[in-house]
Structure 1
Amino acid sequence: CLKSLWPALWTEGEAQAASMAVARENLAILEEQLRGKKKKRFFGGDSIGLVDIAGVRVLSDEEHPALRRWANEYLADEAVKECLPDRDQLVAHFSANRDKCISIAKSMLPPN
């Protein structure tokens, strides 16, 4: 799922639209995992696991309410708070390296 988001974030035009379609399909699968018959707090149940650690901040309450709830609970967990890097520093880092990120994302796209 996360791999499909990179091209969607760093490309433009038709390539971005195609990548966003794939990303949305993958997010819908994750959404269903959290909603399911047994509503889960995290992907592994009540405790944080590897899938939870890989989460991203590109979700809306309207499209993916269970994923937004999960993201909020994940970020509120004390163990996670201790390990998270400062968001402003991350934004500054990736903004400064935007061209490199775009090149990496484009290299992940399938050939035309």
Structure 2
Amino acid sequence: MAEEVKVFGVWGSPFSRRVEIALKLKGVDYEYVEEDLSNKSSLLLKYNPVHKKVPAFVHNGKAIAESQVILEYIDETWKNSPILPKDPYDRAQARFWARFIDEKCMSALWKAFWKHSYNWEVVSSRHHGETLLGCEDHEKAKEEAKEHLKTLENELKDKKFFGGETVGLVDIVGNFIAYWLPRIQEASGVELLTEEKYPRLYQWIHEFENHDVVKEKLPPSDKLLAFFRGRFESVSTSK
């Protein structure tokens, strides 16, 4: 009996793309369902009733939400091409850095580029943030983002990927930094991550977005760039 694997996502969401990258690395066939975050489907609300966000992952009728939880489930279900280390200490470290990216880096980076308190769902569904950051807070967010990037730069050391020689959990969770961030920088005209300041991260970005498997599951660069240019223009004209 064939397995049922479904991913409910949004084409430009770094979170749903994480799940697709993991499944592709594992060689797992799945059905992808594109969602409209401004008009969420009944299935998305059924499969992720708590957060009502993408991604939602369904395996043989059982639903799982939250991208990092889904990634661990995928790794435990399909044993080939592991994305988490076998050693308990190394696994704990991978989880730590994955959470650092989501809980520290992502928040600071969003605030560094948008003076409104945006998150991905707000940006992608064309709604405006409700809280306007003051100039001082906005600059503080930029400095915080730079500090977090430097922390990641130091953790990467001289490794090809955070997981060593192969793409692992931290690399997949860091997809926003590797692929979305450079396009946001180009769209906004604001540069936080440069080769001069973060040479190791810059090399990691090159390795990640050119990885044979990963690049198949990244959104088109021109489409993503146009999307963010539209969002920044929308914000500037709504002031």
CA distance in 2, matches of 1:48, 1:6: 25
CA distance in 1, matches of 2:215, 2:109: 24
Give the TM-score of the pair, scaled to structure 1: 0.76
SS at match of 1:78: coil
SS at match of 1:96: helix
> What is residue 89 of structure 2 aligned with on the other side?
none
- Larger Rg belongs to: 2
Q: One-letter code of the match for 1:60?
A: T
> What is residue 5 of structure 1 aligned with on the other side?
109
Which structure: greater strand fraction? Answer: 2
Query: Over residues 10-58 of structure 1, what are the superposed CA-to-partner deviations in whole Å (9 max), with x where a residue is unaligned?
Result: 12722221001111111111000112xxx21101111112321223225
Is 2:157 the counterpart of 1:18?
Answer: no
CA distance in 1, matches of 2:110, 2:200: 22
Q: How much does 1:84 deviate?
A: 1.0
> What is residue 89 of structure 1 aligned with on the other side?
223
> What is residue 47 of structure 1 aligned with on the other side?
166
SS at match of 2:164: coil
| Structure 1 residue runs without a partner (length 5+) | 101-112
**Percent identity of the aligned residues?**
38
Give the TM-score of the pair, scaled to structure 2: 0.38
Q: One-letter code of the match for 1:30?
A: L
Q: How much does 1:3 deviate?
A: 1.8
Q: CA RMSD in A?
A: 1.8
Q: How many residues align?
A: 97
CA distance in 2, matches of 1:50, 1:86: 22
Query: Over residues 54-104 of structure 1, what are the superposed CA-to-partner deviations in whole Å (9 max), with x where a residue is unaligned?
Result: 23225211111000010011111110111111011112223334457xxxx
Is 2:181 the counterpart of 1:61?
Answer: no
| Structure 2 residue runs without a partner (length 5+) | 1-104, 116-133, 183-191
Which structure: greater helix fraction? Answer: 1
CA distance in 2, matches of 1:67, 1:96: 27
CA distance in 2, matches of 1:79, 1:48: 10
Distance 1:72 1:63, change over 3 A: same
> What is residue 73 of structure 1 aligned with on the other side?
207
CA distance in 2, matches of 1:2, 1:50: 16
Q: Which has the higher contact order (CA 8 A, sep 6+)?
A: 1
> What is residue 46 of structure 2 aligned with on the other side?
none
> What is residue 21 of structure 2 aligned with on the other side?
none
